[in-house]
Chains A and B, each alone.
Chain A
Amino acid sequence: MQSQTDVVVVGGGVTGTAIARELSRYQLDVVLVEKSPDVCTGTSKANTALIHAGFNADPDKQKGRLNVRGNELYHERIQHELDVPIEWRGAMVVATDESERPKLEELLAKGQDNGVDGLEILEREQLLKKEPHLTDDAVAALWAPTAGIVNPFELTVGFANNAVENGASVELEAEVTDITQTDAGFTVETARGEIDAETVINAAGLYADEVSAMVGVDDFEITPRRGEYYLYDKQFDIDIETTIFPVPTEVTKGIVVTPTDEENLLIGPNAQEIDDKRDKATTRQGLDKVLDGAQKTVPDLTKKDVIKEFAGLRPAIKETGDFRIQIEEEVPGFINAAGIQSPGLASAPATAELVVDLVEELHGDLEEDPTFDPNYSGPPKVRHMSHEERAALIEEDEAYGQIICRCETVTEGEIRDAINQPVPAQTVNAIKRRVRPGAGRCQGGFCGPRVVEILSEELGIPMTDVKLEGEGSELLTGEIKQPLLERVEERSEVNADD
Chain B
Amino acid sequence: MTESREAVTGATNVMRREEHDLVVVGGGPAGLAAAQAAYDEGVEDIVILERDFELGGILQQCIHNGFGVHYFDEELTGPEYAQEFIESVAERGVDIRLETMVLEVTHDRTVYAVNDEDGMTELDAEKVILAMGCRERTRDALDIPGSRPAGVYTAGTAQRFINMEGKLPGEKAVILGSGDIGLIMARRMHLEGAEVEAVLEIMPYTGGLTRNVVQCLEDFDIPLRKQQTITEIHGTDRVESVTVQEVDDNFDPIPGTEYEIECDTVLLSVGLIPENELSVDAGVDLHQVTGGPIVDETRETNVDDIYACGNVLHVHDLVDWVTEESMIAGRSAARSLQDRVETRDEPIEIDKTQKLSYVVPDRISTVDPDREELPLYMRVHAPMEEVFVTLSSGGEQLTRDFQRRAEPGEMITLNVDTETLAELPEPRLELDVVPREEV
Contacts and interface: CB of A to CB of B under 8 A. Distances in A.
Interface string B103-118: 1100000001011111
Interface string B216-250: 00000000000000011110111000000000000
B214 interface: no
Contacts of B192: 480-481, 483-484
Given A303-B143, A306-B143, A480-B192, A398 B117 contact: yes
A398 B150 CA distance: 32
A473 B145 contact: no
A449 B168 contact: no
Interface stretch (B132-140, B295-303, B307-315, B377-385): B132-140
Contacts of B148: 280-281, 310
B141 interface: yes
Nearest to B167: A476
Interface stretch (B154-162, B199-207, B403-411, B426-434): B154-162
Of A412, A443, A448, most buried by chain B (CB within 10 Å of CB) is: A443
A214 interface: no
Interface stretch (A185-193, A315-323, A401-409): A401-409
Contacts of A453: 165
Chain A interface size, as a band, is 35 or more
A379 interface: no
A194 to B, nearest CB: 27
Nearest to B101: A403
B13 interface: yes
Interface residues of B, number: 61
A467 B236 CA distance: 13
Interface in A177-215: none
Interface in A436-467: 441-446, 448-449, 452-453, 463-464, 467
Interface in A289-342: 303, 306-310
Interface in A469-498: 469-487
Interface in A55-110: none
Contacts of A407: 277
Interface string A254-287: 0000000000000000000000001111111011
A390 interface: yes
A478 B145 contact: no
Interface in B137-195: 138-141, 143, 145-151, 153-154, 156-157, 160-162, 164-171, 192-194
B167 A445 contact: no
B120 interface: yes
Contact of B168 (A308, A445, A467, A476): A476
Interface string B35-73: 000000000000000010000000000000000000000
A269 B426 CA distance: 56
A235 interface: yes
Contacts of B234: 281
Contacts of B236: 278-279, 472
Interface string B70-91: 0000000000000000000000
B368 interface: no
Given A282-B146, A392-B12, A476 B169 contact: yes
A339 B14 CA distance: 53
Given A442-B136, A445-B156, A472-B237, A477 B114 contact: no
Contacts of A310: 148
A250 interface: no
Contact of B193 (A279, A308, A395, A487): A487
B140 A443 contact: yes
Contacts of B112: 387
A74 B140 CA distance: 33
B143 A480 contact: no
Contact of B145 (A283, A474, A486): A283
A467 B164 CA distance: 19
B283 interface: no
A475 B157 CA distance: 12
Contact of B103 (A409, A445, A476, A478): A409
Contacts of A468: 149-150, 237
A367 interface: no
B435 interface: no
A401 B117 contact: yes
Contacts of B119: 390-391, 394-395, 398, 401
Given A391-B120, A478-B167, A479-B168, A402 B136 contact: no
Contacts of B19: none
A401 B99 CA distance: 9
A380 to B, nearest CB: 14
Contacts of A281: 145-148, 232-234
Contacts of A122: none
Contacts of B14: 391-392, 395
B349 interface: no
B351 interface: no
A309 B142 CA distance: 10
Contacts of B170: 477
A475 B103 contact: no
Nearest to B120: A391
Given A391-B14, A473-B149, A473-B237, A401 B116 contact: yes
A483 B140 contact: no
A482 B168 contact: yes
Contacts of A473: 149-150, 237-238
Nearest to A234: B277
Given A284-B145, A406-B101, A449 B160 contact: yes
A479 B238 CA distance: 18
Interface in A198-254: 235
16 contacts: A279-B147, A281-B232, A306-B143, A307-B141, A390-B119, A401-B115, A401-B117, A406-B101, A443-B138, A449-B161, A476-B169, A477-B168, A477-B170, A477-B171, A482-B193, A484-B193
Which 7 A-B residue pairings sit nearest by Cβ, starting from the closest? A483-B193, A472-B237, A401-B116, A391-B120, A484-B193, A398-B116, A403-B101
Interface of B: 12-15, 51, 99, 101, 103-104, 112, 114-120, 122, 135-136, 138-141, 143, 145-151, 153-154, 156-157, 160-162, 164-171, 192-194, 231-234, 236-238, 264-265, 277, 280
Given A306-B143, A463-B167, 19 more contacts: A279-B236, A306-B140, A309-B143, A310-B148, A390-B120, A403-B51, A441-B138, A445-B154, A446-B135, A446-B157, A449-B157, A464-B167, A468-B150, A471-B237, A472-B236, A474-B150, A475-B151, A477-B170, A480-B192
